[in-house]
Structure formats: C-alpha cells, structure tokens
Amino acid sequence: MFVNRYLPFHIPNTSVQRRYQSIAMLLGLPVVLTLTMGPLAFAKEPQLRSEEKVAERAKVAWESGATSGALDILDQWIQAHPPALALQKLRGDIFTTSRRPKEAVEAYDTVLARKPTALDVRWAKWSVLIRSGRGEESIAELRRMAKVDSKNPLIQLRLAQELRKLDRLEESLEPYKKAVELAPDLLGWRLGMARARFDLLDYQGADEEVQYVLQRVPPGSPLELPANNLLSVIYRSIDRGRRSIPFPPSRVTPAQRKEWAMIRADAWRLFVAGRYEEAEPIYRRLLALNPNDPTAGHQLGLTLVQLGRCKDALAIFGSVFNLDPNEDDYVDTVFGMGQCLAELEQWEEAFVHFQILYDTAVEFEENNKNVRLLPGTRVLDKEKLAQWIEKIRPHVPDMAKLKGDNAANSIPSGDPSRSTVLSEKELYARAVERLKPQKPLDMRASLVGRDADFSWFRFVIPASQVMRDDFPTGDHNFIPVNPGDSFPTTQREIYLVFGLVSASYDAVPLTAQCFLETSEMTGEQRALAQDQVIMSMSDQSGYFKVSSPNTGWTPGLYRCGLFVGERTSADTQADEVRFRIIKPRRSS
C-alpha cells in the first residue's frame, strides 16, 4: 500500500514505539512503584528465572519508555548469571535508543568477545557506528561481517560503496570484485565496478567491464543506455576519473557538503520567484562546491539567459553537456542555447539547435501515436519550435534550401504540421550527433555506473523495527532496531531508516520503490513494495516502511530506489539500498 505520512506525527505500527524523556511524569506513581518493587517481585517469581522471561520483561519496560527500569532488570540478571549474551545484546539495543552510543558499542563488544560470529550483534554495532559518524570504525566492522558472512554479496557491495564515500578508492575495488563474483548474473553491479576502475585511471579495465555487460544484456535491456553512457564517459568526457581530480572528494569538508545541500533550495526559490540577480551568485557557489552538479549548471545558464547575458550563458550551457544532464535539463539547455544564439545572430547554429528539437518532437509524436502518456509527461511543443525555425529561416537560406532538397518534409514551411527526416552534411551531422537526445533512462538503472558523491542520504539502514526518540526541543530521531541486510520470508515489514545530509528545508516528499533485482533487467517490472514520507521542515531523520507483498516475499535480492520530489523517475532518483529475503532455517 502506498502510504503518505507526516513523520513527526504518524507512527503507523505497534512495533514503533515512542520514547519519552520523563516517563514517570507521564505514567505517574504506579510506574515508580513497579520499578522500585522490581527486585522483590523478581525474587518471588520463580517463573521469571530464565533469560527469555527477563528479556521479555525488560522489553516491556523499554518499549513503554522506562529505559532505566529496563536496564536495571537486565543488570541484575547479568550480574547474577553471566555471561547472558542475549541480554547483553538487548542492553546494547536499549543504550542505542537512549543516546548512549559508547555504552551500546561496549555492550555489543562484550557479546562479540565471546561469540565473534554473531552477525545480528555485528549489524547492531555497525549501525551505531555509521549513525555516529564513525566511518573508519564502521568500515572495520563491515570487513569483519564480510569474513563471517562470506557468501553474502550485499555485504561486499556495501563495503565497496562505503569505502568510496571515504575516498578509499583503491580498497573499494576488491570488495566490488567479490560482490560481482558472488552475484555474476547481476550485470548492473559490474558497471559499478567499471566506474571504480575508471576512477583509478584503469580505462582499459573499465572498458572491458562495460563490454562484458553489453555482450550479455538482451536487446532493449535498461542496462544498455547506462553502459553506453559509461563508455562515453571513458572515452569522450572531460571527467577522467576521481584520481585525476586535483582536489579529490576527500578534500571536500563536511561543512562544504552541508553548505552545498542547504543552499540548493535557496537558489531554486529565488529562480522560481524571478529574482535572477540574487540567484546567480548562489548557483555559482554551488558549482564551486560541486563542479559536477549538472542541475546547478543548467539553472545558472537559464538564469543568465533571463539576465540577458547570452554569451555567459552559452559558456555555462556548453559545460553542462559534459556533466550527463537528465533529459529535461538537456532539452531546456538546447532550447536556451538556441535562444541565445539567435539573440547573438549566430543564425546557423541557432537553426541547428531548434531543428534538432523539432525533429525530436516529430519523432516522439510518430512513435507515440497510440500510446497513452503518463500524467506529468513533458512533451516538446512542435508548433513553438516551428515558429522559431520560421523566424530564423530567412537568415539561413542555404541551410534551409539544403534541408528542402535532401528531405522535403523536414523543415516546416508555413505549415508546422509538415515534418521530415533530418538531412546530413558533415558539419551539420556532427552537430546533430553531439546534441541528439537519448531515450529516457530506466529508473532501475539510473544509478548504475554513476559516481554519486553528493546524495541527500547520509545513510540508509534496513531493520526489522524502528524506534522514535523525541527531544525536548520538539525534534526527533528515528533509530533502527535489529538492523541487517537479510530477512526471512515471514518478515511482515522491513524499515529503511535513513538520515539526511542536512535538515529538510521544506515539506519534501521522499519515496521508496522496491523491486526484485533480476539478472536480466528486462521488461516492465512492477514495484513489489513502496512507501512515501513527507519530510517536514528541520527533519533530518525518517524511515520507509516496506510491507510484504500480498503474495508474500519471494526469496532473492531486492533493490529499493529512493526518490526526491513528487514524481518517481530516473531524474529524481537520489540513492538506493538493497536487502535480501531468505528462507527461514529449519530447526534440526
């Protein structure tokens, strides 16, 4: 079911409990009596003398908000009956939700000292480390998990991705190799490894990985386009890989990343309000913080057009093409360049730009005659483009004549409804090939082989439960309980708990759509589970609840795309997270 909820006010599942700071004030004297009488009752009730009953009692206290009482119950039993590893793990979970990460890690380490193969405890410890910003320690914990769960490809993939976030590119290649070896049919992962080789300046190795994919994907696969895009990056882009950058991402401070994330909204609001002079310096600052931000480059170009500075706009637009813009930005950029070229009376180049868009509009119309377009689909205005071509035609009689001789129906002549195939002359053909739009990118493949240093999400952690911690200021934090990447087919809900790079600036919709990650990635695959949340202003933490499909979970690997904004498309996908569903082990 698609759920739209406001995080600060809606906790839809009974397993998601709210933790209050002054529990005695809320529940009154009976709670105090219960807690003070705990040891006496404990001594008089023999049926409680088992770890399971003690754990159950502590959980009841914990989930009702009596954190101190829950810890007292556990401490009494642990002191009397060491080592009580299950209770030590529960103790760590309680510390995790009580803003005591140091004590939580110590409790988990106590268990791991005696049982180093306890994956559930390692996942819990890793979750505390990654949420606390202890990146190096979280990497070390992932490495230990990879040794324990050596046949799990998701741990290797996550390890590779986390190493890249810390700019430890050389180390990331080995876990990428292991992930691909463990899941050889998932060809999209190989494109990620190709990007990893490219960033290490291993261009031949990157090419070989991409060619491997292209030789094995079936015709029409969503992987074809990102694979070809990656080839164009390898051979024709000004991007030569992260190790070729004079100032690598490791030199970008957290403060710079935070500033980049925060001021994007300010620039957009000024642009929408028509306050272009104020928007320009903010967009330039965005590009200074992240020169590979195609959206900022595109918006800066449009801002300069509105300010009447076409020469400056053309220089910015030209650089946008090297940043792999999304389809909408590409079209807007070509149109803006055409306007500027006409304004500067560079008629031949202006003619080329508008003709390309016109031919694209005609081709789209022909290919979608009997197709019902999705609501919100942007379609080029063929009549408007025809008017621009008619305006420019008198200034380029030779090009117009050439078009008319070689393809009589190509250029609209008075009647915008007439259209033809683009004629070819060497210079003209080169321009067409350079600017020709490609087919839309499939959402499932939109992040494949891309290098996304800048993301909305600081972390995304799958878990079987989530708890909410409320601060006296009114803010709150969502905490994963029992995190991991593997869940049984009987799991009813999986929570994808996330933290944002910076607090939400407005009521921003975030959506998760989860698919069974198949080896071929062909055809239209329906989302098996999805959820949407609305981030209120100042929110920096949240979760998606992914419910089991009506037919139940199918064992396998699942990939969840995370989207920002009202629409879910390849253009709005900001990140992704994976988990796997496995059959429960039969008890011997």
Is the separation of the CB atoms in 70 and 59 below 8 Å? yes
- Cα first-last separation, the chain: 37
Q: Please indicate, yes or no, if residue 504 is contained in any of the structural domains.
A: yes
Same domain flag for 153 and 26: yes
Sequence-separated (6 or more) residues with CB below 8 Å from residue 153: 178, 179, 182, 183, 186, 189, 557
- Using pLDDT thresholds of 50, 70 and 90, give the confidence band for residue 323: low
On whether residue 371 sits in a domain, the answer given is: yes
Domain membership of residue 344 as a residue range: 337-440
Q: Contact 150/175 with Cβ under 8 angstroms?
A: no
Does 191 map to a domain? Answer: no
Domain's final residue, options 158, 193, 209: 158
Q: Do 435 and 515 reside in the same domain of the chain?
A: no
Beta bridge partners of 578: 559
What is the H or E stretch that residue 557 is in?
Answer: strand 556-564
Q: Please, are residues 234 and 198 in contact by the beta-carbon 8 Å criterion?
A: yes
- Is this structure's pTM higher than 0.75? no
What does the pLDDT average to over 83-91? 92
Burial state string for 175-184 with b = 16 or more CB within 10 A and e = fewer than 16: bbebbbebbe
Q: For residue range 36-56, list pLDDT tens digits in order.
A: 334 434 444 443 458 889 999
* Type of residue found at 507: A
Q: 307 Cβ partners below 8 Å, 6+ apart? A: 276, 277, 280
Tell me if 260 is assigned to some domain.
no
250 in a domain, yes or no? no
Q: Which pLDDT value is given to residue 43?
A: 44
The arithmetic mean of pLDDT across residues 212-223, rounded, is 86
Report how many domains make up the chain. 3
Domain final residue, candidates 384, 407, 440: 440
Q: What CATH number did the domain enclosing 524 receive?
A: 2.70.50
Residues 415 and 516 in one domain: no
Q: Are residues 554 and 496 in the same domain?
A: yes
Q: Which residue type does 58 have?
A: A
pLDDT of residue 251: 61
The residue with greater pLDDT, 469 or 258, is 469
- Spatial distance between the Cα atoms of 260 and 256, rounded to a whole number of angstroms: 6
Query: Domain boundary residue among 158, 192, 217?
Result: 158
d(CA 320, CA 12): 43
Exposure string of 261-286, with b = 16+ CB inside 10 Å and e = fewer, is bebbeebbebbeeeebeebbebbebb
Are 357 and 436 in a shared domain? Answer: yes
Does 103 or 474 have the greater pLDDT score? 103
Q: Are residues 507 and 434 in the same domain?
A: no
The answer to whether residue 54 is domain-embedded is yes
Q: Is residue 132 part of a domain?
A: yes
- Among the ranges given (27-31, 318-322, 455-459), the one the predictor scored with the smallest mean pLDDT: 27-31
For the chain, the maximum distance between any two Cα atoms, rounded to a whole number of angstroms, is: 102
Residue 61 sits in the same domain as residue 153: yes
CATH number at residue 136: 1.25.40.10
CB neighbour list of residue 397: distance below 8 Å, 6 or more residues apart: none
Write down the residue that tokens 């202006």 correspond to: 350
Q: Are residues 428 and 530 both part of a single domain? A: no
> Does 48 fall in a domain?
yes
Q: Please tell me whether residues 434 and 458 are part of one structural domain.
A: no
Instruction: Assess whether 94 and 122 both reside in one domain.
Output: yes
Residues 436 and 458 in one domain: no
- Mean pLDDT for 491-495 is 95
Residues 373 and 425 in one domain: yes
